[in-house]
Amino acid sequence: MQGISKDIISKAAKGDIGAFEKIYLQMNSFVFNVALRIAGNKEDAKEIAQDVFIKLYRKLSGFMFQSSFKTWVYRITANTAINTAKKAQRQGKNMLSYDDDIQLKKQIYSASSGAEENAASQLLGRLLNSLDPDQRACVSLRSIEGLSYKQISEVLNVNINTVRTRLRRAREFMMKHFDKGGKRYEV
């Protein structure tokens, strides 16, 4: 993904719909993928992405170019997804059905080449979904998106030690439940 120029961001911040459309077209799949990894299902990810672009449109004039635009969008997307997941948890909603779980694994992992690997990826998906939304966001941003601890700290607007703690607890939980048959999978 190429960076979006300051000129386009400035124009969009002043209400230029064409400039905002360029931002949308360039960032849409990125926002959706981040939302999908945190929320865990397509329907919630679509709603989160819509909410994110509404927030971007409303808050764009407040973007001060102190961080990269991508980091700013990460932050808005991750926080929106976490809040949506927490709200769903409070309402007792199961965020990931069995069918959605299988579809998510197909998207995140390449096609599995065996029943054992397929079962392991399904278990990994269930374990990720059983983490609290804050931990799941940290794991997704670190392991899937490849962000550094510092970048995750900036995206989630939390202390770097909080990121480390969330990742450690998530790894401990997953290793405790994923150490089946002597196989260890890194989170």
Mean pLDDT of 48-72: 90
Residue 40 belongs to domain with CATH number: 1.10.1740.10
Per-residue pLDDT at 96 exceeds 50: no
Q: Is residue 153 part of a domain?
A: no
The mean pLDDT of the chain is: 79
Q: Is residue 167 part of a domain?
A: no
Q: Is residue 186 part of a domain?
A: no
pTM over 0.75: no
- Give me the pLDDT at residue 115, please: 56
- Give me the pLDDT at residue 165, please: 92
Q: Is residue 108 part of a domain?
A: no
- Give me the pLDDT at residue 146, please: 83
Q: Which domain covers residue 63, as residue numbers?
A: 1-95
Task: Write the CB contacts of 89 (distance below 8 Å, at least 6 apart in sequence).
Answer: 95, 132, 133
Q: Is residue 76 part of a domain?
A: yes
pLDDT digits (tens, 9 = 90+) for 12-49: 999 999 999 999 999 999 999 889 888 878 888 999 99
Query: Over pLDDT 70: what percentage of the chain?
Result: 75
Higher pLDDT, 122 or 83: 83
Higher pLDDT, 11 or 107: 11
Query: Which of 27-36, 121-130, 149-158 has the weakest average pLDDT?
Result: 121-130
Per-residue pLDDT at 122 exceeds 80: no
Judge whether 80 and 55 are in contact, CB under 8 Å: yes
- Give me the pLDDT at residue 120, please: 59
Q: Is residue 69 part of a domain?
A: yes
Count of domains observed in the chain: 1
CB atoms within 10 A of CB 87: 11
Per-residue pLDDT at 125 exceeds 60: yes
Residue 181 DSSP class: T
Q: Is residue 17 part of a domain?
A: yes
CA distance 13 to 127: 40
